[in-house]
Structures are given as structure tokens and as C-alpha cells.
Amino acid sequence: MMKISIAEANGNLGQEIPFAFRTTAEELGATGDDFSFVGEIAIQGSLVFTGVCYRVFGEIKAVKAFACDRCLKECQEEQALRFEEEFRKAGEDEPEALVVEGDFIEITDLVRDTILAAQSLSNLCRPDCKGLCPVCGADLNEGDCGCDRFVPDPRLAALQQLMNDKED
Ligand SMILES: [Zn+2]
Ligand SMILES: [Zn+2]
């Protein structure tokens, strides 16, 4: 649970009150089928009471671990994800904003949703990963293995055969 007290912000209208948390993907429930996060996830941000609402913003730092979709290499990627959200006290009719419960703002859901929403559908070691050779399994990023990976169109192959037969 990551709870920020609103007491200090209440007495300091417009001032940025810093906060920091450390957690893990397991604690957050920020897990995926084809990736995980290594070690601790660090959250740093500020809380501001605007007089109308509580603005919470900051940055999440996490290290994502995954196997490349194309070459299967184990990779790690440092991520810095921005978040920003407004919270209001219950009772004020603001459907857009999240509600402050008691004297605390709970940002666990905000952090988890920010992390999960930022993950791309594909996991690549680099955008132009060449993948593995379908013939010998070599990593084509490390150079060409020399295999003939040309897959002929069966119709063209038939035509080629026909022409070869004529030449004979
Ligand atoms: Zn790759
Ligand atoms: Zn090959």
C-alpha cells in the first residue's frame, strides 16, 4: 500500500509536497504473461493541494525483463514512466477525479495502471531485430549464417520447373 498523507498539503496551498516509495511488481500486482520487473520499482513524485483538488504527479522507475519475441534473447530495459492524476474529497460531485479516502491518497492502483498501460504488445531487443534463422536457428543479428532462407512461391517453382524441362 502506498499512502500519501494530505495533512501537510492541506496547510500549504499550492506547494509541492514530495513523496517517494519503493515497491516490487509482485506487491503491486504489475505482472504480465511475457515480461516481469527486476528488483525494486521506485516511485517519486509530489502532491499539491490546489484548493479544489489534490494533484499527484511524478515518475516511476522500473527495469523490465523479457525475452525478445524474435530472437528469444533475455533482455532488460530501464523504464521511466510519468504519471499524473487528480484526487478529490468524496462528496464533491466530480466523476472524473479519484476520491481521497480519509486523510490519505492511495496511489497503488495509479502506479500499477501506469506501468501496465505503458507496456508495448511486442517485446523486442531492438526495433530492427532480425530474429533467428528458420533453417539453422542462428541469431541473424550476429551476422548471416549463409543458409538459403528463400521460400519459393509454389506456382513460380512449378513454372521454373516447366522452363527447366523445356531447356532439357
Ligand atoms: Zn531480438
Ligand atoms: Zn541459418
pTM exceeds 0.85: no
Encode pLDDT of 37-77 as tens digits. Answer: 999 999 999 999 999 899 999 999 999 999 999 999 999 99
Q: 124 C-alpha vs ligand 1 centroid, how far in Å?
A: 5
pLDDT computed for residue 11 by the predictor: 92
User: Is it the case that residue 15 has pLDDT exceeding 70?
Assistant: yes
Q: 60 C-alpha vs ligand 1 centroid, how far in Å?
A: 26
pLDDT computed for residue 118 by the predictor: 95
Q: In Å, how far are 70, 74, 140, 148, 151 from 131, measured between CA atoms?
A: 4, 13, 6, 15, 17
pLDDT computed for residue 168 by the predictor: 64
Q: 1 C-alpha vs ligand 1 centroid, how far in Å?
A: 36
- Which stretches of the chain are assigned E, i.e. beta strand? 3-5, 17-23, 36-37, 41-49, 54-67, 74-89, 98-100, 104-106
- Domains of the chain, by residue range, sit at 3-117, 130-168
Q: 73 C-alpha vs ligand 1 centroid, how far in Å?
A: 6
Q: 143 C-alpha vs ligand 2 centroid, how far in Å?
A: 10
